[in-house]
Every structure is written in structure tokens, then in C-alpha cells.
Amino acid sequence: MVERTSVEAAVKQALEQAPRRNFDESVDITVNLRNIDMSQPKNRIDETILLPNGFNNVKIAVIGKGDIVTQAREAGVDLIMGPEEVERLGGEPREARRIADDYRFFLAETTVMPLIGRHLGVRLGPRGKMPMPIPPGTDIRPIVQRLRSSVRVRTKDKKVFHAKVGTVDMPPEEIAENIDAILQKVESVLEGGAMNIRSVYVKTTMGPAVRVI
């Protein structure tokens, strides 16, 4: 495992080298893997990782009706859809694609999951964004809170993945803690652990990449 001080130094360098922009840039990492056969599904990574320092701009959508809608409003969820809206989006591929791209996590009542699969599965499935099924009576508010501080890491069949780890206005040490949390989790699910990681780079949206390891 790379030393936290080395990660923090790389983050500071990436922030210092990034040109100032008039929008809130994100900070991202790129992780390149090695010595692993990604054509085998068992070797692929698909993890939702809770970060120690969330950045509160993760967009979440909730699908359902009744209590789950009330809770979603109380939790400040970004998008709430009922079954009728899901059916409508099935005939609006451009709008459905935009929603699939814009929202990071989806939660849905278990009763509407078949409807989602039929009308939105083609948009959400390939992006790894099929909704988390919510059984009746479940309080979604703590789930939403946790997801706001989480990132999804998914490799599919490629030996590379990208993950958002913060924003440029966050302290470098907090961004470094987030990177450390992601790398620890990834190493824990890789067969060879740290030996399966070829390199890690950190960069702002518009800035140059800085090598972490």
C-alpha cells in the first residue's frame, strides 16, 4: 500500500498545477491494473465504496410511490419518479439516456423493479446503474445519506477505471484519505492485492495528471 504522505503530495501537486477555472472542478483518479484476466467476470470490480470525506454533489434518483416518495423529499433527493414516468421514459430514449448519465445512484421500490427493467434496463444496465431494490417499510433516508458520500468503482472488462475522489476546494489531506479508502477496498477484492495495481494517477477535471504510484 502506498504511503498516505505520497498520496497527499501527489494531490497537492495536481491541485497546484491545475489552471483556475470558473466552475467547481472535480478531482479524479485513474487506476490501471495488471496481471489479471478481466475477461473472467470473477476478476471484475463492482463496488460501492463509502468515502471518509464526501463531497455532497452525488445525484440520486428514487423511483416509486407513497412512503418512499415522502422520504425521498425529506432526504433532498435530486429526482423522484413514479411508475408512470418510468413507462413514459421507455418511449423517450434521448431523455432516458440523459437521466442515466446524470444520476449516480438509483433506488427503487421492489414492486417497480420489473417495470424499470422493461423500460429503462437498456439505459441503466450497461452503465452499472440498475436501481438498488428497496423492500416495503425500509427507511431510505440513511441509505441516501450514505450514498451521498460514496463512489461506484466498476471495471467491466477493462484493466482501468476512473473514480471521483473530491473537488478542488477540498483540503488535499481529505482527498488523499478518499483515495486511500478506494485503493484499500480495491486491493482487498483483487486476487493479487496491490500487485495487481500497475499505476494510479490523480488530476483535476482540466488539469494535468500526476502519478501517485
What's the domain range around 136?
60-147
53: which DSSP letter? S
Q: Give strand pairing partners of 27.
A: 166, 204
- Each residue's pLDDT, cut to its tens digit, for the chain (213 residues) gives 667 789 999 999 999 998 877 777 899 999 999 999 999 989 999 999 999 998 767 899 999 999 999 999 999 999 999 999 999 999 999 999 999 999 999 999 999 999 999 999 999 999 999 999 999 999 999 999 999 999 999 998 899 999 999 999 999 999 999 999 999 999 999 999 999 999 999 999 989 999 999
User: Is the entire prediction scored with pTM above 0.85?
Assistant: yes
**CA dist 85 to 13, 96, 192, 206, Å?**
46, 10, 45, 36
- CATH number of the domain at 172, please: 3.30.190.20
Same domain, 37 and 71: no
* CATH number, position 123: 3.40.50.790
Q: How many domains does the chain have?
A: 2
Cα–Cα distance for residue pair 114/117, rounded to 1 Å: 5
Using the 3D structure, point to which of 92, 126, 147 is the last residue of a domain: 147
DSSP string, 169-199: TS-HHHHHHHHHHHHHHHHHHSTTGGGGEEE
